[in-house]
Structure 1
């Protein structure tokens, strides 16, 4: 089935294929998002009360996919018939909590993406990536929740909308550096509202409509500046408006993030 994950005001969202696990080859898994016209597919299996997820694009398997997790939680919550659904998810070699609450027209799904690691970019990372994005509002950071990606601030939404990176050069650079992609974001307002665009040609996604895991990385990064709640708008350049929410809480083992959005099952 198709789930639109991370809608904004009841519209848009990232179309995601949600498929019951079966005896598929990896080639067959990679073919699903192509056949269904989505950027990602998530394969769902349940065993002894635990839910396992596998994520694929046309290029291959990913260890994690935030909007895919939101989509899977919506489907699981719908099948459960409960007004509030909670479960333990297994993906990318880790188990984590997920939940979904029934809302008018869909489900609000949230999950714990795991610990976020943050570091300064290396010299080669700066040299190969930053010239592709000439309008910057501050230093970039490399963040990871399974795979590293570069978070790059830009001054305004107009600057963000005007971005036209050379995707061939970006793919060459991210392939060489082992980066998932680049997440460009605006400086948040005082109440934590921002906009972002995620370019990830290395995984077969030139631009992502919604990227929850990168938003979780941004939330962890900005928590050091006092932001505890973020709402990030994405997808406008693709005519698919989406919004992702993230909250942070400091703990003894570092910053804990909850991230998610509204999802609706359409097919």
Structure 2
């Protein structure tokens, strides 16, 4: 028997409220993957971050949902770094984090309404997507071809591909009722993590968005920070405006905000992602066998 330290953090809050509840577990590396999966399945949140602090200069973080391990999780990174800063008692931290085979530069800063975290997402690979190739996904989302801006359909990948789906009108976006079973099958068939649907504001400085990823066990994400970075990269690629604030979670009663900026480099478009995390009251130890 052993105990684990688990904290629930609201990641990517908006104006001090909402955000995506994310479980953060301080992992001493003795847990097996089956135990991590079991913890994630019973945590009561959509994502669980397991933090190995044995390398203090660059802690390793792994992410699990009820379906299994993810290669990355943007709002999970924000939640994990908020917990580490809180535990340290410091007011600010500049450092690195390891996830999978990548190391991210991270900044975390205390503020009155939580802890603000920014991380470098790295290069975003973008490619066009013909509307005909995604007709099944559009239908599974509960949309018609006239609801989307077909010329702006893009496949974006910071490591795992997802489909960016521009919806013409915010009211259409908010009214969406996907067929999750069909959408999961279509995403698996095409190799997508999920679908990031969004409607830009007239200034293209903010966007309302909804992320559907039933193929990985998350029908709808309250916040999807990596997809916000992908959207910033797409905007940089098409309009040279690489800054965006993405609002999600309103339909789930958990308003969230993710900030993303994209920059063109000689190696490709890179993105930086930010959000504010706030600790929930419930936390403590759990027993494992």
User: Partner of 1:82 in structure 2?
Assistant: 90
Matched, 1:256 2:270: yes
TM-score by length of 2: 0.88
Equivalent residues of 2:131, 2:150 under 8 A apart = no
Give CA-to-partner distance per residue, 1:136-158, whole Å, 9 cap, x none. Answer: 13431000011100000001221
Distance change >3 Å, CA 238–CA 48, structure 1 → 2: closer
What secondary structure does 1:194 align onto? strand
Shift of 1:43: 0.4
Equivalent residues of 1:74, 1:100 under 8 A apart = yes
Matched, 1:230 2:257: no
Which moved further from structure 2: 182-191 or 138-147?
182-191
Give unmatched runs, 5+ long, in structure 1.
none
Equivalent residues of 1:154, 1:185 under 8 A apart = yes
User: Partner of 1:69 in structure 2?
Assistant: 77
**CA distance in 2: counterparts of 1:163 and 1:51, whole angstroms:** 39
What secondary structure does 1:50 align onto? coil
**CA distance in 2: counterparts of 1:84 and 1:52, whole angstroms:** 19
What does residue range 203-214 of structure 1 map to in structure 2 within 5 Å?
203-214=216-227
Matched, 1:55 2:69: no
1:42 alignment partner, one of 45, 49, 64? 49
Shift of 1:130: 2.3
Rg (Cα) greater in structure:
2
Give CA-to-partner distance per residue, 1:95-128, whole Å, 9 cap, x none. Answer: 1101111110311111011110001226774232
What secondary structure does 2:123 align onto? coil
User: Partner of 2:101 in structure 1?
Assistant: 93
Shift of 1:81: 2.0
**CA distance in 1: counterparts of 2:242 and 2:165, whole angstroms:** 19
Equivalent residues of 1:125, 1:177 under 8 A apart = no
What secondary structure does 1:176 align onto? helix
Give unmatched runs, 5+ long, in structure 2.
1-6, 283-289
User: Partner of 2:286 in structure 1?
Assistant: none
- For the aligned residue pairs, the C-alpha RMSD in angstroms reads 1.5
**CA distance in 2: counterparts of 1:240 and 1:210, whole angstroms:** 9
**CA distance in 1: counterparts of 2:205 and 2:45, whole angstroms:** 29
Which moved further from structure 2: 224-233 or 185-194?
185-194
Give CA-to-partner distance per residue, 1:11-34, whole Å, 9 cap, x none. Answer: 100000000113222222122233
- Segments ≥4 residues shifted beyond 4 Å: none
Equivalent residues of 2:246, 2:257 under 8 A apart = yes
User: Partner of 2:4 in structure 1?
Assistant: none
Equivalent residues of 1:53, 1:91 under 8 A apart = yes
